[in-house]
Amino acid sequence: MSLGRHKLGSQGLEVSTIGLGCMGMSQAYGPADEAESIATLHRSIELGCTFLDTAEVYGPFHNEELLGRALKGRRDQVTIATKFGFRIVDSKQSGTDSRPEHIREVVDASLLRLGTDRIDLLYQHRVDPAVPMEDVAGTVGELVAEGKVRFFGLSEAGIANIRRAHAVHPVSALQSEYSLWERNLEPEIIPALKELGIGLVPFAPLGRGFLAGDVKRAEDYPEGDFRRGDPRYQGENFDLNVAAAATVRDIADAKGVKPGQIAIAWLLAKGPDFGIDIVPIPGTKRRTYLEENVAAADITLDATEMLGLDMALTPDKVSGPRYNERTMSLVDR
């Protein structure tokens, strides 16, 4: 079992067909386990899942440091994506900051933590309404010219800002939430990505675990777990969403695979359907789940199964907003 390669965008970036989201190794999904996280990163490389996604704000800082330790002697075997764009005060996220001088400070600090001389894919984590996108793209372009960054990406940007950035420095990838569970990109953003030749990197491809099947109500997760505050895990929303996700479980059972693998296989099939490059980055901090996620690349869904999944989880059948109001306010829509 070893993954193939996939292009992202039109500038020459090539990554593994499925990536690994590393955030959960340091925050949001229960207590950290550094030994298992490092073992998971090493196993990921063995499996050919070499597109690793982190950010300065994960931890903050701990996640990049973890990758730096895990990748000693292995740097040239992986593609590292990290992100700038938040103000961090007293180890907590405190609004956005994409001023050019701050971008440079973050990149230099990220390079030190990661133990590398270049960032393969640098994303603006969230659009900063106080800084013109042209200034952001121009600064990243300078960092590319200096060799500190190889490719430029955006995260959760809207169409206007994608176009403004791309006009100054080519955008290779947009990272945004997209899954069977969350289809907000389909009407406008995905057609724009096709037009501009920009790849899509869906985060939360398993609906923050909901599509993996073994879910609990919000209140049953421990303190510090992101899902305690996820509206889709709460109250009546939870019951309705369990019912909506039943088709994923049914198709998985019929094929003898896991529900989460079906969700990833659906995403991989959507790339050719839409005519864009799609590389999902399911997050995990355990080798068992990593191996399941990577194996999804070998699952084929026929037209009937794809249609059944499309219809089962149309936006009107998923209950509750994807974020609370504060987090949603950072999405550029």
- Considering just the CA atoms, what is the radius of gyration of the chain in Å? 19
The dihedrals phi and psi of 118, each to the nearest 5 degrees, come to: -155, 150
Query: Do the beta carbons of residue 174 and residue 189 sit within 8 Å?
Result: yes
Copy the structure tokens of residue 325: 């109001």
Q: Which residues on adjacent β-strands are paired with residue 93?
A: 88
Query: Do the beta carbons of residue 85 and residue 96 sit within 8 Å?
Result: yes
Instruction: Give the Cα-Cα-Cα angle 329, 121, 186 (nearest 5 degrees).
Output: 50
Identify the residue whose tokens are 């990921």. 44
Instruction: Give the C-alpha separation, 313 to 331, whole Å.
Output: 22
Identify the residue whose tokens are 């090493």. 42
Q: How does 122-134 read in b/e, with b if 16+ C-beta sit within 10 Å?
A: bbbbbbbeebebe
Catalytic residues: 58
CB atoms closer than 10 angstroms to residue 8: 27
